[in-house]
Amino acid sequence: MTITICIGSSCHLKGSRSVIGRMDTLLTTHNLKDRVTLNGSFCMDDCANGVCVTIDEDHFSVSPETVDAFFEKEVLGRLNA
């Protein structure tokens, strides 16, 4: 699984750095680093809904406050499906 997080100007200002940091921590604590790749992107053309995140082809809007819920639902949900 590949998770891509936008680090463009707009998403940066909306907290992509802490989203990346938290995501990395969650992947480590769940021992998922070898199953999930974290990637950066410069812009996903949806700045109004940043922080933009994609899992494979699906788009999501994540904020530093919703990372944990997103991880629980979308990442773990898909991996365990």
Partner 1 sequence: MKVSLDICRRQLNKFGEELCGDTVEVIYKEDSEIVILADGMGSGVKANILSTLTAKILGTMLKNGESVDECVETLVSTLPISKERQVAYSTFAILQVFHDGRAYLAEYDAPACLLIRDGQTVPLESSELEIAGRRIKEYIFKVLPGDTFVLMSDGVTHAGLGSVYPFGWGRTRVGEFAAVLSGNREMTGDRIAAEISGECDRLYSGCAGDDTTVVVSQVMARRDLSLFTGPPKSKEDDVRLMAAFMEMPGVHVVSGGTSATIASRYLGKPLRPSLFYDDPEIPPTAELEGIDLVTEGVLTLNRAVSLLKAYNQGDRSEAFYKQLDAGNGGARLAKLLIEGCTHLTLFVGQAMNEAHQAAGLSFDLSIRMQLVDRIARECREMKKTVAVNYY
Q: Are 34 and 20 in contact (CB under 8 A)?
A: no
Binding residues among 46-65 for partner 1 as defined by CB under 8 A: 46-48, 50
Taking the C-alpha atoms of residue 45 and residue 22, their distance in angstroms, rounded to an integer, is 23
What is the nearest approach in angstroms of partner 1 to the Cβ of residue 11? 8
**Nearest approach, Cβ of residue 81 and partner 1 (Å):** 26
Q: Which of 40, 69, 77, 79 binds partner 1 (CB under 8 A)?
A: 40
Q: Dihedral of CA 10/71/40/64: which sign?
A: positive
What is the rounded distance in angstroms from the CA atom of residue 67 to the CA atom of residue 63? Answer: 6
- Using CB under 8 A as the binding rule, whether residue 16 contacts partner 1 is answered as yes
Residues of this chain that interact with partner 1 (CB under 8 A) are 5, 7-10, 12-14, 16-17, 20, 38-43, 45-48, 50
